[in-house]
Amino acid sequence: MPTDPLRCAGALIVDDDGRIFFQRRSPQRKLFPDTWDIVGGHLEPGEEVEDALYREVTEETGWTVSVVLGPVGEYAWTGNDGLARVESDFLVRVDGDLARPRLERDKHTEFRWLAEHEIAVLDEHRDVNDGLIRRIAEDGFAALHVIGL
């Protein structure tokens, strides 16, 4: 078992209406099956957080990061695999057709753009991730208010 936590990078992708992009993890996923999630994942060996952020957005959506608006927060969590992780999340804007993300179909089954008043949907299966995604979403919308979006 590793003694250091695994590092993750996450993107809260924002559209022109101030909504944030979420995608549902497939029921077959080991971590957080069938729950809503932000875009992101583990850093590869030797990879920096920002590089992972850009890579994960492209891998999971087909879009490219155009600008990092700012940090949302850093979250320490342990998955149902027992491994500790530290996740750094950022608000980002992307280039591409926002109505047509290219989801990794074996990993994600659907997507939604949520406004702040709609985030209760993230409570679905919250027991699986202890409400982590809802907390990240709340922090993301709070950060949007701070930067004036």
pLDDT at residue 2 above 60?
A: no
The residue-averaged pLDDT of 8-29 equals 96
- Look at residue 122 and tell me if it is in a domain: yes
Which residues on neighbouring strands pair with residue 76, listed in sequence order?
86
Q: How far apart are CA 76 and CA 90, in angstroms?
A: 15
- Look at residue 18 and tell me if it is in a domain: yes
Number of domains in the chain: 1
Helices (H), 82-131: 126-129
DSSP 59: H
- Look at residue 1 and tell me if it is in a domain: no
Which residues form the domain of 139? 6-146
Q: Domain of 104: which CATH number? A: 3.90.79.10
pLDDT at residue 1 above 80?
A: no
pLDDT at residue 141 above 80?
A: yes
Residue entry with tokens 């979420």: 22
> Which pLDDT does position 101 carry in this prediction?
97
pTM greater than 0.85 (yes/no): yes
- CB hemisphere CA count around 149 (13 angstroms): 21
The phi, psi pair for 82, rounded to 5°, reads 85, 0
Q: How far apart are CA 122 and CA 126, in angstroms?
A: 7
**For the purposes of burial, counting CB atoms within 10 Å of the CB of 40, is it exposed (0-12), middle (13-18) or buried (19 or more)?**
buried
Q: Which two tokens mark 51?
A: 């590089």
How do residues 30-48 score in pLDDT, each as one tens digit?
A: 888 999 999 999 999 999 9
DSSP 23: E
- Look at residue 28 and tell me if it is in a domain: yes
How do residues 45-104 score in pLDDT, each as one tens digit?
A: 999 999 999 999 999 999 999 999 999 999 999 988 888 999 999 999 999 999 999 999
